[in-house]
Structure 1
C-alpha cells in the first residue's frame, strides 16, 4: 500500500477499482493507476471500454463496487454524499461536450457561479485573469447565445478553472466543435497545464485531441491496456485499431 506522501504527489489515484452494474456487467475490472499533478492525460478506448465509468469514479461522481479512489489526497471510500459534493465543488472542475451554460447569465456570471454556490465572494482580479486566459475578456457581458460554440466552451473552461481545482476532468470537450475550434480549445487546456500547473484528465475518442495531451491511457474491457507518452495522432490511432481488434477477440 502506498504511503500518504506518494498519494499527495498525485492528483488522482485509483487502486484496484472495480465497478459492476446490475448482475454481471463489469464496467471497470481492477483498475490501478495514478495521475501526477500538473499533467495532461487523455483516456481512450473502444466503445464500451469503461471510459465514462472511469471518469465518474475518478471524479467522485460514482462509487466503485470495490477498490479505492484518492482525489487530491482525500480517500473517497466511505465518505457520504455531502462530503463528496463539497469536495467536487471545491477541488474538481468539469468540462463536458455540452457546454451547460445558463442562457440568462452573462459570461462573467456563468464563470463565477461555482464560487457563488459555495458562498464565496469572487475575486475580481482572478476573474479578469481567467477571462483573459481563455480569450474572452472583451465578452464578459455577453450572453451565451451571442457566442460561438468555441467561445461557449471557453466559458465552460473558465468556470471550471475559477475554483483553482486540484484536477479538471474533461469529457469529450471538443465533441461539438469543428476541427479548428477544437484545436484552439485543446491548446487552451494544454496552456492551463503548462502555465499554472493545472491537472487535466480528458476522456476522448479523437486521436487528434489525444495528441494534445502529455500521455494517453488506453482502456479495453474495463482494464488498463497500456499508456503512450508524447502521443502523436497517428500513434494513437494505430494503438486504438489494435485495441478494437483485441476487444473483439476477447469478447
Structure 2
C-alpha cells in the first residue's frame, strides 16, 4: 500500500449486490479503491500484467500476472496499482449461484481475500478468453447477453477450480446438505439451531463451519435466497409487496422492505416500477 495510510484513503461507493458487472482495466500508479465495510457480493480479478496490491485493513498482498484474486463478502478492503507499474486486469462483481460455492473454496492469502496463481500458460489463456467473453457479453443488451455472461463467468470459475487442487476440494457433506435445505425450504421459518440439528452438528460448530466453507453466515445466505426469489416475483407477478414478502418467507412486510432496500438499493415498490 506504500506510505498512504489506509484510514486516509477516500471511501468509494459500494456496489449493488445481485448485479453482474465487469470490465477490463489498465490503471497506472495512483489508481485505488477503498470500501471499509466491504461489499455484499464477491469481487473477482484476473491480473494480466503489472501488479496490484490488496489490503484488508490489517494485512496486504500483491497480485501479478496470472493471479486470480477473490474478495469475499463483508471483507473491508483497499486495492490499488502497485508502484510503479500499470496494472492491467479483468474484474467482476457477482453473487454466486448455489452450485458455484464449491468452486470458490480457494486458498486465503490474507483474511477475507483469496488468491490462486495460474502457472500453466494454456490454462491462463483459457481463463483470460472466458473473462474476455464475460466482459463482452456483460456490455451487450439483448435477450441473451445476461445468460451468456453468467455462462462465461461459470466457465472462469470452473477453469480456476480445475487448475487449483485446493478449489477442487468438495464442501463438507453436512454443509452441502444445509445449503440444499436452505435452497429448497427458504419459505419456512428456518433457524440456525434447527438447521444444525438437521445436519447433526451443534449450532456453534455448524455456524462456524458454514461460514468457513461458504464465506457467508447461515442467515445471510437464507436472506439472499429469499430476496433473489422476491425479485423474481416482483418481476413476473402482480402480487403486492406484502404478498411477495409472505411468499418468500418474510414474516413482516416492513422487515422485508428494509432488507430488500439494503440488498438492491431501492424499496421493492420502486424496483418494480423501474422494471416496467
Q: Per chain length, whose mean CA-contact separation is higher, i.e. which structure has more relative contact order (CA < 8 Å, sep 6+)?
A: 1
User: Which structure is higher in strand share?
Assistant: 1
TM-score after normalising by structure 1: 0.28
TM-score after normalising by structure 2: 0.26
